[in-house]
Chains A and B, each alone.
Chain A
Amino acid sequence: GIQVEQSPPDLILQEGANSTLRCNFSDSVNNLQWFHQNPWGQLINLFYIPSGTKQNGRLSATTVATERYSLLYISSSQTTDSGVYFCAVHLQGAQKLVFGQGTRLTINP
C-alpha cells in the first residue's frame, strides 16, 4: 500500500522561529490534508490541498503532486502551535485517509 512519510519526526523551536514540515508519499493521490493535533488530542483541519499552494494566516502549505510531496510552513511560531502535525492522503477509489506518523512540534517561550 501507499507509504506516507513525514519529516522531521520531532522539532523543537523557540517562539518566533519559522519551520517547514515535509510529507512524502509513494503513489499518486487524489487528495491531501494537513491536520494539527493539539495537546488535548483534538484533530484540527489545517489545509485541504491536493495540489498548489494555500495560505491561512501564519500557515501555508504547498503540494507538488507530480513529485509526491507536500510542505507545511509555519512562520513566527507561537507556543499554541505546539502539538503533532499529520498529513493524510487519499487514494482514488479508496474511502479512507492514510496518515503519516506525524511531526511533533514543540515551541518554547
Chain B
Amino acid sequence: NAGVTQTPKFRILKIGQSMTLQCTQDMNHNYMYWYRQDPGMGLKLIYYSVGAGITDKGEVPNGYNVSRSTTEDFPLRLELAAPSQTSVYFCASSFGRLSSYNEQFFGPGTRLTVL
C-alpha cells in the first residue's frame, strides 16, 4: 500500500490564483481530513469527510472548498489564494470515526507559498 499520497509537493501561487491540492489513499479508509500547519505550530483541521459525498467543516475552513466523489480521493480547492494561506497542507485518513480504536495516518504534505 502507498498509504496517503499528496500532489504536488511544492507550489508557489500568486495572490488571487486558484489551485487544487490532490489527496489519495489506498487503504479503503472511510474518513479523510485536511489540515494546515503554519510555521512553528501544530496542525489545524480545515475540512473532513466521513465518506463519499459527505464533507464537513473543521476549525479553519474559510477560503477552502472540498469534495469527495470517491472513497479514495479528497481534493482541497483554494479559489482566491491569499498570503495567509501560505502553509504546509497535510491530508490524513482513518478507517472509521476517531475513537480509542482508530488512528489517523498522514500524507507527506504539500508546501504552498502565496506571493
Residues of A whose CB lies within 8 Å of any CB of B are 4, 30-31, 33, 35, 41-43, 45, 48, 50, 86, 88, 90, 92, 94-102
Complex Cα spacing A90 to B104, Å: 10
Interface positions of B (Cβ within 8 A of A): 31, 33, 40-45, 48, 50, 56, 58-59, 88, 90, 97-100, 102-106, 108-109, 111
- Beyond A41-B88, A43-B90, A102-B42, whether A97 also contacts B100 by CB under 8 A is no
Q: Given the complex, which residues of A lie within 8 Å of B56, measured CB to CB? A: 95
**A100–B42 CA distance with the chains assembled, in angstroms:** 6
- The reply to whether A97 and B111 form a contact with Cβ atoms under 8 Å apart is no
Q: Which residues of A sit under 8 angstroms from B45, Cβ to Cβ?
A: 96-97
Residues of B within 8 A of A4 (CB): 42
Contact A31:B100 (CB < 8 A) given known A41-B88, A95-B50:
yes
Query: B42 to A95, Cβ gap below 8 A?
Result: no
For A96, list chain B residues within 8 Å (CB): 33, 45, 48, 58-59, 98
A54 to chain B, nearest CB (A): 12
List, in ascending order, chain B residues with CB within 8 A of A50's CB. Answer: 100
Indicate whether A90 sits within 8 Å of B42 (C-beta atoms), given known contacts A41-B108, A42-B108, A97-B104: no
**Contact, CB under 8 Å: A95 / B90:** no
Q: Which of A4, A30, A31, A97 has most chain B Cβ within 10 Å?
A: A97
Least CB separation from A96: chain B residue: B45
Pairwise interchain contact A42-B98, C-beta atoms closer than 8 A: no
Chain B contacts of A33 at CB under 8 A? 103-104
Query: Complex formed: what's the CA distance from A44 to B65 in Å?
Result: 27
Cβ of A101 and Cβ of B105 under 8 Å apart? no
Q: How many Å lie between the Cα of A94 and that of B108 in the bound state?
A: 24
A44 and chain B: residue at smallest CB distance:
B106
Question: Which residue of chain A has its CB nearest to the CB of B110?
Answer: A41
Most buried by A among B40, B44, B50, B103: B103
